[in-house]
Structure 1
Amino acid sequence: WIRIGTFEFFARTKENSQKNLKQLADYVIKQSYPELENEDEKYEKMFYKLVDKTAELLALWQVYGFQHGVMNTDNFSMAGLTIDYGPYAFMDYFEKNAICNHTDVEGRYSYNNQPFVARWNLFVLINALKKICDEEKLENYMKFYLSIHKKIYLDMMNKRVGLDASKSGDANQFLIIELLGALEFSKMDYNVFFYRLTNLKSFNDLSSILDIAVFQDPLRKWFDSYKRACDEQNSSFESRFEIMKKVNPKYILKNYMLQEAIEKADEGDYTLVNELLKIAQNPFDEHEEFERFAQPTPMKFANIKLSCSS
């Protein structure tokens, strides 16, 4: 649970700053990167591993529509984990500039900005570590951050539509960009779209997907591009299903579900709390008694902004 902000604190102290930073870095290495304990330049290597982990973490946040809400350095893990989310959300209908924290009026922590805020946080860490590290080496390694993030993101997004990112090059990237635009203009529930795409059996009947879009035309046009991409990769519905069923869960815990569980718990009924825990642990299972949670978020609850005290 050590954060970038913890390193900032000790970097700014006047007495024993270097000693304290080394002690803190040694603790982080012991807890999270034990393979580095006897390495040369272990503090630099700790930073490199955090850059890699952060690039992957932020890619996965983006892939599944997760919004942290308060990504300051005091809420940013040295282990590359998701911690300390106050106002947070899994996206309901897709909106690239969605803000889940109502106090974030400038959109610093908006969905689309998350990889870049993470990058900013890592540069703050460089400033704190420069007393015990080669600053130039850390800055040079940061040049890889966005490319690592992009590769993981595109690989995962391609799996979410059942395709192979390595087979189509730039055209494949454009397909994903086009999809995001179509989802936003259609006002389509983000994760429900991918689950229903997983189970699509024919391009002649898109009703299971289009019927839950507020506006259908943008998605119809995207499906034309998607069909071409599938043809180019000689991809069948069966082969895509095998890829997608592993990465497109039926259930994503959204805030309106959690709110319902909270309200019942306030009345002394913890049944839904326990059921949601089971769903969270097994999101690919059917859970037929909770089929309603696999449907699009009711619009009155969609993309609601929360506060740290919500």
Structure 2
Amino acid sequence: MKTLSTLMLTNSYSDLPASLGTQVTPQPLDTPFLVHFNPLVAEKLELASITALDPSFIDIFSGNATLAGLSPLAMKYCGHQFGQYNPDLGDGRGLLLGEVLTSEGKKWDLHLKGSGKTPYSRMGDGRAVLRSSIREYLASAAMEGLGIATTHALAIIGSQTPVVREKIETAATLIRVAESHLRFGHFEYLFYTNQYAELQQLADYVIEHHFPELTTNDSPYAALFEQICQRTATMIAAWQAVGFAHGVMNTDNMSILGLTFDYGPFGFIDDYEPSYICNHSDYSGRYAFDQQPSIALWNLSALGYALTPLLDKTEIDHGLEHYQDTLQQQYSHNMRQKLGLTIADESDTGLFSELFQLLKQHHVDYTLFFRTLSYITIDDLLHSDHLFNTLFQCTSALKTWLTRYQQRLLLEPNDTQRLTTMLHHNPKYILRNYLAQQAIEEAEQGDYQLIDQLITVLSHPFDEHKGAEALAQLPPNWGKHLEISCSS
């Protein structure tokens, strides 16, 4: 393990076109302090754990000191926001500090979110509040624990710096860690400003650093677009299977590596509602849960259009078809794992369709239903409806579905393996909105114990955690109706 001063720092982004960013110095926070540090993310960087007694770490990541080798850069990009093109985007409150190179040659971006004004802040103050920082910190840990591609968060630094949102809040910085911070919007920016040579340079950079196997491909840019489509499809399939809604799937929030990126008004489904809208500002439901697969296709089409200087229509269409095929196959695979099915059967579509209809009609908690089912043997299925009494007001329709499910399981070779598979793919713990809200309210009073508890269970959400049963229970009614906006 290394200390801050011995980290191997690089800056490959300096090789990119100068128009893609501006050097900016972070603005310091007042009286900064460590809110929380995630040692699991530190391990990725080969960095030793940090405590509240490490002033150099706190000073560096609050903008009060510098670290040799860091070259803070506010990145320029654009994108489609709620379907409308916006050229006036970029890192308005974040800075790419540099890159950590591990002993095995793995490169990780260090990004400081909430670091003050940049040339792309528009009317904003460039700050992040403690509330939004905690939500992203917990969400990235939750997604990593679920095995879903995501950015990571190393730590939260709090402060006494006041910021104005709907009310007066305190500013914080989040240290984000990712394999790349490049977005669909970077390509869109270069395309719409007619920087075609720079567009090709960016594509070459992505291939060199993230898809080196494509360098010898006869059509490397078409292969790159196909890879982006495939990774995006895998990510979306994972979101849909676990019940995660992103909330703001603008093209500037889409990662070229298929990482879950820019956590804002996200939400995990409580009662199953396919049209669930987690973003209070999404008046039309454009980014509703069941719209995410089609929105990702729309965003990929926008990216494909931005790549037309490098691709022809046939290559773009092929990539988009690959997205749809991958999404369907991966989602079917994920859902079969949730029911412990190892053999694909033509009856499975009807089995899942009836289940989703059942869950929707009875307003059943999505996570707890699948987790409860994961403990029941095939022999006990037809006598297990009492185990669902807290989820269903009437279980008669459930009994009918359980009968069909039991008949389907007769095709499976091993029931013990089925239960093992289900317990590894149906989490006991998810980041429900009300839990995040409770953690925020306690943190605002200086108590970070719930953040610590949540990081523990969310990092291993499929495990049993003694003493943490309360974090896996049905949410209270008020917790199902929290309104989350883009305010951060």
1:231 corresponds to which residue?
410
Asked whether 1:101 is paired with 2:299, we answer no
Conserved 8 A contact 2:385-2:398: no
Asked whether 1:3 is paired with 2:187, we answer no
1:205 corresponds to which residue?
384
1:257 corresponds to which residue?
435
Conserved 8 A contact 1:60-1:153: yes
Displacement of 1:40: 3.0
Cα RMSD after superposing both structures: 1.7
Aligned to 1:141, the other structure's residue is in SS state helix
Conserved 8 A contact 2:231-2:258: yes
The residue identity in structure 2 corresponding to 1:284 is F
More strand by share: 2
Cα distance between partner residues in 2 of 1:214 and 1:297: 16
The residue identity in structure 1 corresponding to 2:277 is I
Structure 1 pair 19/214, CA: closer, same or farther in 2 (3 Å)? farther
Structure 1 pair 215/102, CA: closer, same or farther in 2 (3 Å)? farther
1:173 corresponds to which residue?
349
The residue identity in structure 2 corresponding to 1:111 is F
What fraction of aligned residue pairs are identical, expressed as a percent? Answer: 37
Displacement of 1:73: 0.5
Conserved 8 A contact 1:77-1:83: yes
The residue identity in structure 1 corresponding to 2:403 is D
2:204 corresponds to which residue?
26
Cα distance between partner residues in 1 of 2:214 and 2:467: 48
1:64 corresponds to which residue?
242
Cα distance between partner residues in 1 of 2:190 and 2:394: 52
Displacement of 1:156: 1.2
The equivalent position to 2:397 in structure 1, one of 206, 209, 218, is 218
The equivalent position to 1:301 in structure 2, one of 479, 485, 488, is 479
Displacement of 1:215: 4.5
Aligned to 1:288, the other structure's residue is in SS state coil
Conserved 8 A contact 1:99-1:305: no
Cα distance between partner residues in 1 of 2:392 and 2:362: 6
Larger radius of gyration: 2
Query: How far does the alpha carbon of each residue in 1:67-122 deviate from its partner, in whole angstroms, 9 at most, with x for none?
Result: 00000101111111100121001111110111001111211111111000000001
Displacement of 1:38: 3.9
Aligned to 1:105, the other structure's residue is in SS state coil
Query: How far does the alpha carbon of each residue in 1:208-244 deviate from its partner, in whole angstroms, 9 at most, with x for none?
Result: 22332244343233212212211243553x2321221
Corresponding residue pairs, total: 305
Structure 1 pair 152/210, CA: closer, same or farther in 2 (3 Å)? farther
Displacement of 1:161: 1.1
TM-score by length of 1: 0.93
Query: How far does the alpha carbon of each residue in 1:40-91 deviate from its partner, in whole angstroms, 9 at most, with x for none?
Result: 3211111000111111110000000000000010111111110012100111
Query: How far does the alpha carbon of each residue in 1:105-143 deviate from its partner, in whole angstroms, 9 at most, with x for none?
Result: 211111111000000001101110001222321212322
Structure 1 segments of 4 or more deviating over 4 A? none
1:196 corresponds to which residue?
372
Conserved 8 A contact 1:63-1:156: yes
The residue identity in structure 1 corresponding to 2:385 is L
Indicate the structure whose relative CO is greater, using CA pairs within 8 Å and at least 6 residues apart: 1
2:224 corresponds to which residue?
46
2:251 corresponds to which residue?
73
Cα distance between partner residues in 2 of 1:215 and 1:274: 38
Higher deviation after alignment, 199-208 or 266-275:
199-208
Cα distance between partner residues in 2 of 1:74 and 1:84: 9
Cα distance between partner residues in 1 of 2:483 and 2:205: 37
Asked whether 1:187 is paired with 2:363, we answer yes
2:193 corresponds to which residue?
13
Asked whether 1:271 is paired with 2:449, we answer yes
2:39 corresponds to which residue?
none
The residue identity in structure 2 corresponding to 1:160 is K
Higher deviation after alignment, 80-89 or 136-145:
136-145
Displacement of 1:37: 3.1
Displacement of 1:24: 1.3
